[in-house]
């Protein structure tokens, strides 16, 4: 599976762009600020959500454009050919969000894109994943789950919507028990489903731990730190739902004082360990953390390939940072062995010397892309 053609209209610094792309490795080189990451962001719009920057759509549209942005891609692979279009261009006044069309027909939900393409990305902002707030790790884990389980995104949205409504009741000092009961029941049902999907992802990755022994990228061990996740697998889901519902009901006075909901899977953390060193990832060096992250993403990519029947497309922004030439070469060999399409960015072509003759090289400069580098 690969993106064979990418066309952009008024996306970031690109007024109009059309690229023919090859399977395998695609290397984008150019100066800082040239628009390399913007191209990866455009590709990330072929997945549900707000893309790798999680940007507000108004900020994605090119400055000075009046009609929003558009991304169009032709996907080719084992399931045939598909045309995907998405963006805000042509939206009706007051319409929010972006629209998705697949083979010319409106998609009912963005998750339908997962029938054709799966994407995984690594960005420099994720360098602080293991030391930053728990919310970043939850979003990372939920993105891993969504790549395999298209329904996960809807569960997360439904849970968060119910939680926001409950928080509003708390802020208004509402005593409407029936309304609280309805919201808490929904939170319990969707929350336990979320926790179960997260726990299954951790189990699947753990089952493959050590499969890449001898790899230059260390094995990451994962664990979930959350009250709901701790009960998943030990008790029937219906019992866990009732426990969470009862905890939410009993916690109303405390939550009212705090001004927010203090129980539930929205407070779960993902603990990551450097398995060979038996050390928390947060205590590892910057280089070790980057290697751990790449190792985890590669393991997940293999899992996606096994379960979906086709390797995912990898978006690796400034992936060579913190790696020496030997480890970079090893990464490129692993990507080739996985037989999927990967997009990598860097300021210098020399960083990708070991890919000469094995990759499509493109030079990015001032909103234009040219062959070579």
| pLDDT at site 128 | 93
Q: What is the pTM of this model?
A: 0.93
Helix (H) or strand (E) run with residue 119 in it: strand 119-122
Per-residue confidence (pLDDT) for residue 208, from 0 to 100: 74
CA of residue 363 relative to chain centroid, distance:
26
Q: Are strands 342-346 and 25-29 parallel, antiparallel or unpaired?
A: parallel
Where in the chain do CATH 1.20.1050.90 domains reside?
A: 128-138+150-286
Q: 280: left (phi > 0), else alpha (psi -120 to 50), else beta?
A: beta
Using pLDDT thresholds of 50, 70 and 90, give the confidence band for residue 95: low
Question: What class is the 1-118+310-373 domain?
Answer: alpha beta
Q: Give the pLDDT of residue 321.
A: 75
- Fold classification of 128-138+150-286 is Glutathione S-transferase Yfyf (Class Pi); Chain A, domain 2 (1.20.1050)
pLDDT digits (tens, 9 = 90+) for 122-151: 999 999 999 999 999 999 999 999 999 999
Q: Is the pLDDT at 211 greater than 60, yes or no?
A: no
**DSSP reduced 3-state for 174:** coil
Mean pLDDT of 44-71: 92
What does the pLDDT read at residue 209?
A: 64
Band the pLDDT of 92: cuts 50, 70, 90.
low
| Rounded Cα distance, 221 and 202, in Å | 9
317-372 pLDDT, tens digit each:
998 877 888 899 999 999 999 999 999 999 999 999 999 999 999 999 988 999 98
> For the chain, what is the mean pLDDT?
93
Contact 313, 2 (CB under 8 A): yes
Instruction: For residues 65-89, give the mean pLDDT.
Output: 92
Stretch(es) of the chain classified as CATH 3.40.50.300:
1-118+310-373
């Amino acid at each position: 599976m690969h993106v064979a053609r990418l066309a952009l209209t008024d996306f970031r610094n690109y007024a109009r762009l059309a690229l023919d792309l090859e399977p395998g490795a695609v290397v984008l080189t150019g100066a800082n600020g040239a628009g390399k990451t913007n191209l990866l962001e455009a590709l990330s719009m072929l997945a549900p959500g707000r893309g790798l920057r999680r940007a507000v759509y108004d900020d994605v549209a090119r400055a000075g454009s009046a009609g929003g942005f558009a991304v169009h891609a032709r996907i080719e692979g084992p399931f045939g050919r598909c045309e995907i279009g998405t963006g805000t261009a042509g939206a009706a006044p007051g319409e929010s969000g972006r629209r998705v069309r697949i083979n010319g027909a409106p998609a009912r939900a963005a998750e339908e894109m997962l029938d054709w393409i799966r994407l995984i990305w690594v960005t420099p902002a994720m360098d602080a994943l293991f030391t930053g707030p728990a919310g970043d790790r939850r979003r990372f884990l939920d993105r891993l789950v969504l790549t395999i389980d298209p329904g996960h995104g809807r569960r997360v949205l439904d849970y968060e919507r119910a939680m926001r409504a409950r928080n509003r009741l708390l802020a208004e000092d509402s005593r409407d028990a029936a309304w609280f009961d309805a919201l808490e029941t929904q939170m319990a049902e969707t929350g336990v489903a979320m926790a179960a999907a997260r726990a299954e992802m951790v189990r699947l990755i753990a089952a493959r731990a050590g499969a890449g022994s001898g790899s230059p990228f260390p094995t990451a061990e994962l664990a979930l730190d959350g009250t709901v996740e701790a009960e998943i697998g030990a008790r029937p889901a219906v019992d866990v739902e009732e426990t969470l519902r009862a905890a939410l009901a009993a916690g109303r006075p405390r939550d009212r004082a705090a001004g927010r909901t203090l129980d539930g899977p929205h407070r779960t953390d993902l603990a990551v360990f450097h398995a060979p060193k038996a050390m928390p990832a947060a205590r590892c060096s910057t280089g070790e953390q980057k290697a751990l992250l790449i190792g985890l993403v590669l393991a997940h990519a293999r899992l996606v390939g096994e379960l979906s029947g086709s390797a995912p497309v990898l978006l690796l922004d400034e992936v060579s940072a913190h790696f020496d030439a030997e480890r970079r070469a090893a990464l490129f060999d692993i990507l080739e062995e996985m037989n999927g399409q990967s997009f990598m960015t860097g300021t210098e072509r020399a960083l990708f010397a070991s890919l000469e003759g094995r990759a499509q090289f493109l030079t990015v400069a001032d909103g234009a892309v040219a062959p070579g580098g």
